[in-house]
Amino acid sequence: MRPHHWVKNVFVFAGLLFSKNVFSPYLFGKVSAGFVIFSLAASSIYLLNDIIDVENDRQHPKKKNRPLASGRLNMSTAWAAASVLALASVLAAYAIDRQFVAIVITYIGINIFYTLRLKHLVILDVMCIASGFVLRVLAGTALAGVVASDWLIICTITLSLFLGFSKRRHEITLIGNEAENHRKVLAQYSLPFLDQMISVATACTVIAYALYTVSEETVARFGTRNLIFTLPFVLYGIYRYLYLIHERKSGGNPTNAVLHDRPLLVNCLLWGVVTFLIIYYPVFR
């Protein structure tokens, strides 16, 4: 179920944070419930992915130690757990919000299609991964009762593409000539091509975030231009991640990078604190 990957679901809180509703007990509780439900849905997909990829995972230096690939977990248990988690997440989402349940079903459907087919299609595989982050943001805004801003969606798309192409680069670097045996689509990627895609995604992410902080819509909503001062944290975070990819030969797993690389973790926390203070406390405006 990969509970350490549930940290990705903090994206559902983006809408709550930027709508200035963090201090609403009702909305905070509703979005928190959405976080739990999305975690259940994601875990059902992780299980399905491991079931389908069990033979390929056995060829991977790290994934071969996963429960299914190593034989510690049997297939029938994994199938049962995946089905129960998917059904439970849909029913729980339906009980909370009709728009939210549609997003959860869409997330599950896209990822099932990804596991069965899309992950073998170059570029589309990464775009499919990116859609999961966008759906998390849309889920959060639906639960918070607000409309996701265009800038929030754009920044989420570009950042998730950056992480997705970085993941593919790490896989090729880690496995080398055996990469195709682990994931067929890796045969259609090359390091120079991925570096170009990462560069484009990096530039788009930085530019989109910078424009968001100074846009008239943002200034009008928060009554300040000081969000521009959070840009250095975004720059450092991206540069640090690129350093991990190219110099440390890591960065293939964003969750592990954020949780285990202390400079990156501290930077993310500082960005969150500074952003929170600027949005919610007039003295910082």
Q: Which residue from 133, 117, 137, 135 is spatially nearest to 125, judged by alpha carbons? A: 117
DSSP, res 85 = H
Residues 170 and 206 in one domain: yes
Residues 111 and 170 in one domain: no
Structure tokens at 211: 């424009």
Residues 39 and 70 in one domain: yes
For residue 98, give the CATH number of its domain: 1.10.357.140
- Given a contact cutoff of 8 angstroms between Cβ atoms, the answer to whether 209 and 143 are in contact is no
Domain termination site, one of 122, 147, 172: 147
Domains in the chain, number: 2
pLDDT tens track for 239-279: 999 999 888 877 667 777 778 889 999 999 999 999 999 99
Residues 276 and 153 in one domain: yes
Q: What's the predicted TM-score (pTM) here?
A: 0.88
Residues 182 and 83 in one domain: no
Structure tokens at 131: 């859609």
Residues 140 and 9 in one domain: yes
CA atoms within 13 A on the CB side of 50: 27
Q: Give the integer Cα–Cα distance in Å for 72 and 28.
A: 38
Residues 170 and 191 in one domain: yes
Please provide the average confidence, as pLDDT, over all residues in the chain. Answer: 90
Identify the pLDDT of residue 252.
Answer: 66
pLDDT tens track for 188-208: 899 999 999 999 999 999 999
**Residue at 211: amino acid letter:** L
Mean pLDDT of 103-131: 93
Q: Tell me which residue range forms the domain holding 171.
A: 149-285
Residues 11 and 105 in one domain: yes
Q: Give the integer Cα–Cα distance in Å for 87 and 105.
A: 10
Describe the crossing of helices 124-144 and 25-52 by its angle, rounded to 10 degrees: 160
Q: Give the integer Cα–Cα distance in Å for 84 and 44.
A: 8
Residues 205 and 116 in one domain: no
